[in-house]
Amino acid sequence: MQLPVYLDYAASTPVDPAVLALMTDCLARPELAGNPAALGHAAGRVAQALVEKARAQVAALINARPDELVFTSGATESDNLAIIGVAQFREARGRHLVTALTEHKAVIESCRHLAARGWRITWLRPDADGLVAPAAVEAALEPDTVLVSLMQVNNETGVIQDIAAIGAICRRHAVLLHVDAAQGAGREPIDVRAQQIDLLSLSAHKLYGPKGVGALFIDQAHVRRVAPLLFGGGQERGLRPGTLATHQIAGMGEAFSLAAQRLPVEVAHTRALRDRLWTGLQQMPGVLLNGHVQQRSGHILNVSIEGVEGESLFYSLGELCVASGSACTSLANEASPVLRALGRSAALAQASIRFSFGRTTTAAEVDFALERVAQAVRKLRSFSPLRVAGG
């Protein structure tokens, strides 16, 4: 087995070989040197055809129309464009937004940006299992609410929100719903029509595509328009100007097409791995599950471990690529705000591990991870003055 063992698929995934082959071909073929916006000659039209094929492939995964997708640099940009773009375009109708304390930082910081400019933000706190009750969303709506932003699958705990119920509430109150689906796309079913989602953020590199490209779905019937954040050419309906990266967009399209084909198989594969690891970890005293025991995606398992110090724990797991929270949070070396919002103490939040699995993860790798965690915890607890229940 190759070391270190990679169990951080929620942060980023390896590029699928078929995606890599297509992107390499795009970069190597002289006829694809054209700018997709240069429709006056053959090279530009060939490049544009590849872009539009990819747009259709991405749209198919979420049951959207291709013309409702805007390509971006990733889900972070898509989140910013959705939240700030809607706010700026609709501020005459109201200046109130609803989101949750457990959202990705791209959503949190976009809302804070608006709060500094006079917008009122209602920050919903989930229950101890990480769930935001649809009734709590409805109770937070006000006459001047213009947008609710809630992620489908939490990037740290894997908890799945009831987006369909929340979408129905928002539609009934004529409030737009934005969903960050960076973790959910290709791992859980998404149907923007059935779930009544108005805006949805996507990322390629979470789904075996390249880094640096994503998309934003904008429902043309209910949203129609958001204010752009960047200015320049008229690309992407004027919402995201700049020369399109043909090879990256083609790679995203291929990745999403493969994900649609493999969804049932990959869901079963990751859930089996998650359950295998959790069954083993439960044999150790003082291991606490973070997030709802059932309403969670199969590719993430997040646990807190009592009786150990967080930094020492991760130092002891050098052979494993795992996370203490989101990749963004780890840069700040802080206790996970998501786990703190679920009621974990700062010490327990820092002594937490997020394991995340993908299509190439094996049962042998999961067993190796279980063995290494058990060894590290036993050793650290032998030096610790803290008592662990059942230990």
The residues that are catalytic are 328
What is the longest distance spanned by two Cα atoms in the chain? Answer: 74
What is the distance between the alpha carbons of residues 92 and 85, in angstroms, rounded to a whole number? 13
Closest CA to 290 of 389, 155, 387, 156: 156
How many C-beta atoms surround the C-beta of residue 49 within 10 A? 13
Instruction: Name the helix (H) or strand (E) containing 111.
Output: helix 105-115
Residue 214's Cβ-count burial label (10 Å; 0-12, 13-18, 19+) is buried
Is 18:258 a contact under the CB 8 Å cutoff?
yes
Q: Tell me, what DSSP letter sits at residue 364?
A: H
Strand locations in 181-238 (E): 199-203, 214-218
Closest CA to 181 of 112, 82, 84, 91: 82
Is 310:300 a contact under the CB 8 Å cutoff?
no
Spatial strand order in the sheet of 287-289: 287-289, 300-305, 352-356
How many C-beta atoms surround the C-beta of residue 365 within 10 A? 19
Residues near 283 by Cβ (< 8 Å), separated by ≥ 6? none
What is the distance between the alpha carbons of residues 54 and 391, in angstroms, rounded to a whole number? 54
* Residues belonging to the chain: 391
CB environment 265-290: b (16+ within 10 A), e (fewer): ebbebbeebbebbbebbeebebbebb
Beta bridge partners of 71: 215
What is the distance between the alpha carbons of residues 288 and 131, in angstroms, rounded to a whole number? 17
Instruction: Name the helix (H) or strand (E) containing 56.
Output: helix 42-62
